[in-house]
Structure 1
Amino acid sequence: MVSLDATPRPIDHVLRGAPDAAALVDRDGTVSHAEADAAVARLAGWLAGFGFAPGARVATWLPKTRIACWMPLAAARAGLVHVPVNPVLRRAQVAHILADSGASLLLTQATRAATLEPGDVPAACRIATDAGEGDALSRSAADPNALAAILYTSGSTGRPKGVMLSHANLWLGAVGVAHYLAIVPHDRVLAVLPLGFDYGQNQLFSTWAAGASVTPLDYLTPRDVVKAVTRFKATTLAGVPPLWTQLLESDWPEEATARLRRLTNSGGALTPAMVRALRTRFPQARIFAMYGLTEAFRSTFLNPDLIDARPDSIGRAVPFAEVLVVRPDGTAAAAGEAGELVHAGPLVAHGYWQDDERTASRFRPAPAHSRYGGVAVWSGDTVVADADGLLRFVGRDDEMIKSAGHRISPQEVEEVATAGAETAEAVAVGVPDARLGQAIVLVARGQAEGEPALRARLKRDLPAYMQPARIEWRAALPRNANGKLDRSAIAAAVRA
């Protein structure tokens, strides 16, 4: 198991497995840790050849190629700041990220570059459609507090904003996750999440920090994931709830379900019904429920031994994190009392790139009772800690439904809605109502024929004030660039 050494290093040092051990396995074969580090060194030399100033931003808009995997480390080794762009984004979003970050280089594919229109690429930004090789650079000696990456959020509630991450943020996040997941050198992690997503990028770093190997996968259908687990003998799979829903609806060979030893979830809460389904489908796997946000990378995880008894819990703080439940007056909330989740410690990002106003609203001084102090991330998420210190996610302040004097967590309605056979995915939305303030609309994936049975369960398991005023049925629900349900788009459509 990876030791919890709290001394951060430059992130390009993360390839630290045995030289001959596999670091990456894909359709083209196996790359050892030594070969991967050599590839990073040559790619860093190519980047250095452009003569960019230290700290210049270099963007990648690529699928999960080997180059895309090496670039976060190569940019750091060359003294540059990496800006990964999710490959599912379109030209307008890419143009915003290039302009906002002040990127000096965009490394992409010719087919993607061809979609960009005049004015999309700043005049000072070069475009490269093939990465070259230069003189190999030795490992970085950068200050761990120096900026290493800018990760842009998906932008479902406005234009994407860039979160500034240091070498220390990335390094400690990798070491901490590798430790609590207990990744070992013989593990093989199937990386299906976007590399521009903090959770997806950490799959690379935490795997390599443990000396294990990663298989990057771009997939079109859930069946592609099933096949890859089988073909590449994956032991570890990370996902978000919509992906788990799709995978649970797929056929799995026994060989694949028996091989998986570790399932990790973030980007949304697992419902109790989903936990039961995952337990049945993957009986050998330990299920790690996690909570995090890009601004602080990861905040909590639940010990898999507790997930059957506490499927609604997001657990306790991860290594190197301090997680506080705070009242509106800044004091500590008592056990059983709802409060805002505040994250302090060395995983806290350095704010939003060139956005002082939004930085000041989210990154504020830690509460007086924080052991770390300094700047903390005030998440805007409401949680409750029980007497044992286990946290339960209640909802986001901006998503809470205020109806007839009650504050209602959409998640509570959604968990009951998805506990039966009528629908596997649902989103609860508050809409203006003259009598109630807000009424609940439930948007569910499925057929309207299932509504009587769903209504019956909702009436049985939820109080009257939490009953949806109406249920809207959809054949599919929209997702954002990171594969999560696009709650903002769903809410906008309902309220239109």
Structure 2
Amino acid sequence: MPGSPENPILPLDHLALRGADHDDALVLREGVVSWKDLRTRVSRLAAWLSREVPEKGARVATWAAKGELTCLMPLAAARAGLVHVPVNPLLKHAQVAHILADSGAVLLIGTRARLDTLGAADVPEACRLLSEDEALATVAERGGEMPPSEADPDDLAAILYTSGSTGRPKGVMLSHANMWLGAESVADYLGLAADDRTLAVLPLSFDYGQNQLLSTWYAGGCVIPLDYLVPRDLMKAVERHAITTLAAVPPLWVQVCELDWPAETAAKLRRLTNSGGALTVDLVRRLRALFPQARLFPMYGLTEAFRSTYLDPELVDTHPTSMGKAIPHAEILVINDLGEIAQDGEEGELVHCGPLVAQGYWQDAERTAERYKPAPAASRYGGIAVWSGDRVRRGADGLLYFVGRRDAMIKSAGNRISPQEIEEAALATGLVAEAVALGVPDERLGQAVHLVVRAMPSSSDAVEELPRKLMQELPNFMQPKVIHWRDAMPIGPNGKLDRTGLAAEIMEPAA
């Protein structure tokens, strides 16, 4: 059970104390950081942060590529008593402006080129901007250290912004305990050890990406962050750094399987972990053939509760479409439409209970109440549970199978995308009168973004101008793969745009 004397729940920054002094903890472009050096750097960064932002619980945001700042900040901010808000480096000024305003961040540390894209209207008056290089140089110059914190494990440690099916990104509040137990859970079921080396290719602004760091460090292992340009960079990194653990999302696995892997390079990998979308049967078989020595872990998760299930690698070949069973510290119930535990084979909603459940959405009581509700009576944990909105069924052997999503979320290349955010960006151009964004099944992306629009009568150049303006306002992963132009948009019985009808019309030829 979590919090036992043998495995106490500690403040998140105590992860910096896990490894042996002279072992590798982090490999940066500038060189290798030992565990002894990692402890010193976290301590110094925390001391500097506490001087810059003395108010406990204040939010500090980072907006930069993977490097010393983005890797150390989760621990350093926690030690300084601050709340870390990692911003996806792929986002553009409109999304960043929303996150800064919504979180109330008082400091944004980022790459100078990124900061220069922000206008005065994008940055709240109370938020200071500081370049990543300047921050790290100042930390090195001023010195000073800060001892490990004694924070309450229930204190807020991070706010991770994730898109909902409607509206702008919402901030999921994670406590020290949420993140500590998530690291412990994953390190446990993956079997991570001090000699493991994790290639961190996923964005550190995602819960899955953060856990690449935290679970590896929980085990005393080494993290090698990589911002790759092409999949071949990933293969080269596995060879160069003797990588044992690789986490990815299905579209990246597709690209990985298209490479010609030398047998000796492929054999270095001990485990492959997947989340952010289901693996197809074909992709499972290709991965198993390409990396026969590696254990493949299909997983299911949601930011609101971190991670929910994983499939035992021993069952992957015989049950390739299963989500598996609950991870350690999670209780997963399937609740039918009557509010009761579903029978074997009966479809129901996946409900996640236990200590991995986050603290809700930052300053959004209404949306928190929609997703975070009292746990079903049958729960052994009780308290508040995450009602996922995802429909699943449980087999007689206890294995879970995904059925479908209740909401309209678009999940493309491992990114959760709000249709409304794309629609608002299209309407804001003044070129279109109506817009509907849809996720259409796509072999490489999982879902591709399709945008259906009706042009403003006065917009004679809308067809040429809309893609250009969307490229300026939305990150690449939100860009529509196809824009469908309509003279009129279908209206449903409720008087609203008929999204279901549009989806059926577009997906039929795409199928």
Would you call these one fold, judging by a TM-score over 0.5?
yes
288-297 or 216-225, which moves further after superposition? 216-225
SS in 2 for 1:178: helix
SS in 2 for 1:70: helix
Q: Is the 8 A contact 1:154 1:482 kept in 2?
A: no
Partner of 2:12: 11
5-14 or 284-293, which moves further after superposition? 5-14
2:373 is the alignment partner of 1:371? no
Q: Is the 8 A contact 1:296 1:343 kept in 2?
A: yes
223-232 or 76-85, which moves further after superposition? 223-232
2:175 is the alignment partner of 1:173? no
Q: Distance in 2 between matches of 1:442 and 1:62?
A: 31
Partner of 1:350: 359
Q: Is the 8 A contact 1:76 1:148 kept in 2?
A: yes
Partner of 1:89: 91
Residue 69 of structure 1: CA displacement?
0.3
One-letter amino acid matched to 2:181? L
One-letter amino acid matched to 1:141? E
Superposition map of 1:96-175 within 5 A: 96-129=98-131, 130-131=134-135, 132-133=138-139, 134-154=143-163, 157-175=166-184
2:401 is the alignment partner of 1:388? no
Q: Is the 8 A contact 2:197 2:223 kept in 1?
A: yes
Q: Is the 8 A contact 1:52 1:104 kept in 2?
A: no
Q: Distance in 2 between matches of 1:285 and 1:154?
A: 33
Partner of 1:185: 194
Residue 481 of structure 1: CA displacement?
7.0
Q: Distance in 1 between matches of 2:363 and 2:113?
A: 30
Q: Distance in 1 between matches of 2:269 and 2:301?
A: 23
Superposition map of 1:270-309 within 5 A: 270-309=279-318
Residue 26 of structure 1: CA displacement?
3.0
Partner of 1:403: none
Q: Residue deviations 1:82-102, cap 9 Å, x none?
A: 000000000100000000000
Q: Distance in 2 between matches of 1:392 and 1:445?
A: 20
Q: Residue deviations 1:187-240, cap 9 Å, x none?
A: 100000000000000010000000000100001111111111111111110000
Q: 1:274–1:160: structure 2 CA closer, same or farther, 3 Å change rule?
A: same
Residue 489 of structure 1: CA displacement?
9.4
Q: Is the 8 A contact 1:193 1:482 kept in 2?
A: no
Partner of 1:232: 241
Q: 1:222–1:441: structure 2 CA closer, same or farther, 3 Å change rule?
A: closer
**Runs of 5+ unmatched residues, structure 1:** 401-409, 412-439, 447-477
SS in 2 for 1:106: strand
Q: Is the 8 A contact 2:238 2:265 kept in 1?
A: yes
Q: Is the 8 A contact 2:28 2:67 kept in 1?
A: no
2:89 is the alignment partner of 1:80? no
One-letter amino acid matched to 1:345? G
Q: Distance in 1 between matches of 2:476 and 2:25?
A: 24
SS in 2 for 1:119: helix
Partner of 1:219: 228
Q: Residue deviations 1:322-367, cap 9 Å, x none?
A: 0000012221000110100000000000000010000000000000
Q: TM-score normalized by structure 2? A: 0.79
Residue 154 of structure 1: CA displacement?
4.2
Pick aligned residue for 1:206 from 205, 215, 232: 215
183-192 or 28-37, which moves further after superposition? 28-37
Count residues with an aligned counterpart. Answer: 428
**Runs of 5+ unmatched residues, structure 2:** 412-437, 445-470, 485-498, 507-511
Q: Is the 8 A contact 1:107 1:127 kept in 2?
A: yes
Q: Distance in 2 between matches of 1:260 and 1:486?
A: 35
Q: Residue deviations 1:169-199, cap 9 Å, x none?
A: 0000000100100011111000000000000
Pick aligned residue for 2:371 from 362, 366, 375: 362
Q: Residue deviations 1:425-456, cap 9 Å, x none?
A: xxxxxxxxxxxxxxx9965469xxxxxxxxxx
Q: Is the 8 A contact 1:237 1:262 kept in 2?
A: yes
Q: Is the 8 A contact 2:374 2:383 kept in 1?
A: yes
Residue 254 of structure 1: CA displacement?
2.2
Q: Is the 8 A contact 2:161 2:169 kept in 1?
A: yes
Residue 265 of structure 1: CA displacement?
0.2
SS in 2 for 1:49: helix
One-letter amino acid matched to 2:173? M
Q: Residue deviations 1:40-92, cap 9 Å, x none?
A: 00001111111431100000001001111000110000000000000000010
Q: Distance in 2 between matches of 1:176 and 1:489?
A: 42
Q: 1:488–1:208: structure 2 CA closer, same or farther, 3 Å change rule?
A: farther
One-letter amino acid matched to 1:224? D
Q: Distance in 1 between matches of 2:176 and 2:343?
A: 35
Partner of 2:455: none
2:339 is the alignment partner of 1:326? no
2:277 is the alignment partner of 1:265? no
Residue 135 of structure 1: CA displacement?
1.6
Q: Distance in 1 between matches of 2:355 and 2:479?
A: 30
Residue 34 of structure 1: CA displacement?
1.6
Q: 1:339–1:6: structure 2 CA closer, same or farther, 3 Å change rule?
A: farther
SS in 2 for 1:18: coil
2:254 is the alignment partner of 1:245? yes
Q: 1:169–1:30: structure 2 CA closer, same or farther, 3 Å change rule?
A: same
Q: Distance in 1 between matches of 2:442 and 2:73?
A: 40
One-letter amino acid matched to 2:20? A
296-305 or 148-157, which moves further after superposition? 148-157
Q: Residue deviations 1:85-139, cap 9 Å, x none?
A: 0000001000000000000100001111110011111000011112232421000
Residue 321 of structure 1: CA displacement?
0.4
Q: Is the 8 A contact 1:242 1:483 kept in 2?
A: no
Identity across matched positions, percent: 60
Pick aligned residue for 1:28 from 15, 27, 30: 30
Q: Is the 8 A contact 1:147 1:165 kept in 2?
A: yes
Superposition map of 1:377-456 within 5 A: 377-398=386-407, 443-444=441-442
Q: CA RMSD in A?
A: 2.9
Partner of 2:454: none
Q: Distance in 2 between matches of 1:223 and 1:253?
A: 12
One-letter amino acid matched to 2:390? D
Q: 1:377–1:482: structure 2 CA closer, same or farther, 3 Å change rule?
A: farther
Q: Is the 8 A contact 2:92 2:475 kept in 1?
A: no
One-letter amino acid matched to 1:346? P
One-letter amino acid matched to 1:147? L
Residue 317 of structure 1: CA displacement?
0.4
Q: Distance in 1 between matches of 2:82 and 2:305?
A: 22
